[in-house]
Amino acid sequence: MAEQTVSYIIFKVLRSLSASWLCSIAVQTTKQTFWHVKTADRWQRCTSLDLLHVKVAGARAQQISAVGPWITECDASVESDKLFKYKYRKINTEIMETKRYALVLLLASVVFSENFIKENDVMDRLIDPFVPGDLPVNHTAYRQALNLFLDTNIDVYAPNATGNFPVLYFATGFGAIVPAEAHTLLLSSIASHGVVVVAVWKLGSPEDSFNPAWFEATVDFVENRLENSLHNQEGYVSDFHVDYLHSFISGHSGGSHVAVSQLQTNCLHYQGLILLDAVDGNNPIPENITMYVITPGQKVNFTIPTLQIVTGLDPVIGPYGLACAPEELSGRRFFDAMTGPTWYVNATAYGHADLMDPVYVELNEITQFCPSDPNVPKEEYIQFLAGEIISFMNGVLEPVGNCALFDYLETSGLVGINTENDYVSNGWDRCTPLQCVLTPSSYSFFSSWP
């Protein structure tokens, strides 16, 4: 972002200098023309005088008084001719030098303008994540009861278009027991930017979903059967491909527990971790929790780029005496445990359930199950979340070319959403490639690099 601003300033300066030099050329050319006309006019008048055959270089004669000032001008022509010629040559030299400088500046302006146009394209891409993408999105539901290859329900939101699209696994709230349709707007918006979103959920006890083997069965289905199914049964274009080698895993609320437990066992093809309102534990009542994935004061046993988004109302206790994300089980508990580069974004005005579709948000506002402010715009929040997630994914997938996208994870006020932002590199060199690594100890994998 800073480099783009500097280039823009340089471009403006060069363009201004070029314009100034061009104006200077015009002025100098006008001066040259004036001197040329003035000299020619004077010589015409002087040579037309027939008084005593006055020579251009002639001596002063008494007859000069008969022709007045004209003779005075002609009489001084020899002395002034050298001055006229000197000024004419000087002006001509100045024009040539000015033209050379202007040419150099114009060429520099062209080069910088080309780079500035390219950087404008980058800036356009940076803005794009925060508006719906251009790709058409289909929603396909796979239900456990109707599919021999699944032990869960998955909802696939994918672009029906030509391309190789990375995968985002999304474990819903309450440990992946909330139906995926509650997040259709958010997941469709993400998919419209070229992502195959696989929302994973299952009615039952959340403790079942904390078993990594359960989630890996879904991954196996996606990697071996999903693309053919979308082609053969859903009519996807022939050049649509699921790029499962570049996958991300995410979760909302207790679904984040599912995502972290998966990474504690196997990195598979995961490139990044996305935690939305993350809550640790297998029970919404803190006193009844028997399973955790985070131990305060210790690091997790994996290193992966992580985006954590929380809301300001997450830890607020509701009318039922419970918080949807108790402070001791959410927020910094996850951030402090990560060992890879981690971004922390707190949307201070929003609540735990505000990322859901309008009908679910309205239902929550009526019941106040999770505290929410009815006066803050929810649609903009959905756009914000999609933009942050897309920025993170594209930055991780191409950290060199898309490194500026990480700036959006550290900036407040995007799409009108005020945030508190934090970031820790954990030894990662910004804009360099990174990957998921299982680490046997609790220190950062990157910190062990020379």
Residue 154 and residue 122 in one domain: no
Q: Do 393 and 288 share a structural domain?
A: yes
Q: Which of 369-378, 402-411, 435-444 has the lowest mean pLDDT?
A: 435-444
Strand 437-438 to 270-276 pairing: unpaired
Q: What is the Cα–Cα distance from 311 to 309, expressed in whole angstroms?
A: 7
**Pair 430, 446: CB distance under 8 Å:** no
From 376, 450, 389, select the one nearest 417 (Cα to Cα). Answer: 376
To the question of pTM greater than 0.75 for the whole model, the response is no
- Pick from 129, 160, 179: which residue ends a domain? 129
Q: pLDDT, tens digit, for every residue of 235-290?
A: 999 999 999 999 999 999 999 999 999 999 999 999 999 999 999 988 777 788 88
Domain boundary among 93, 109, 129: 129
Task: Report the number of distinct structural domains present in the chain.
Answer: 2
Q: What is the pLDDT of residue 145?
A: 72
Co-location of 217 and 248 in the same domain: yes
Measured distance CA(397)–CA(272) in Å, rounded: 9
* Domain end call among 129, 161, 195: 129
**142 and 112 belong to one structural domain:** no
Give yes or no: residues 92 and 197 share one domain.
Answer: no
Same-domain pairing of 289 and 222:
yes
- Both 114 and 165 in one domain: the answer is no
Q: Are residues 247 and 396 in the same domain?
A: yes
| Phi, psi torsion values for 177, nearest 5 degrees | -115, -5
How do residues 306-335 score in pLDDT, each as one tens digit?
A: 999 999 999 999 998 889 999 999 999 999
Task: Indicate the pLDDT class of residue 4, thresholds 50, 70 and 90.
Answer: very low
> Are 70 and 163 part of one and the same domain?
no
Output the domain CATH number for residue 332.
3.40.50.1820
What mean pLDDT, rounded, does the chain reach?
80
Q: Are residues 294 and 329 located together in one domain of the fold?
A: yes
Query: 302 lies in which domain range?
Result: 135-448
Kindly state whether residues 191 and 277 are assigned to the same domain. yes
- The answer on 439 and 345 residing in a single domain is yes
438 phi and psi angles, rounded to 5 deg? -80, 130
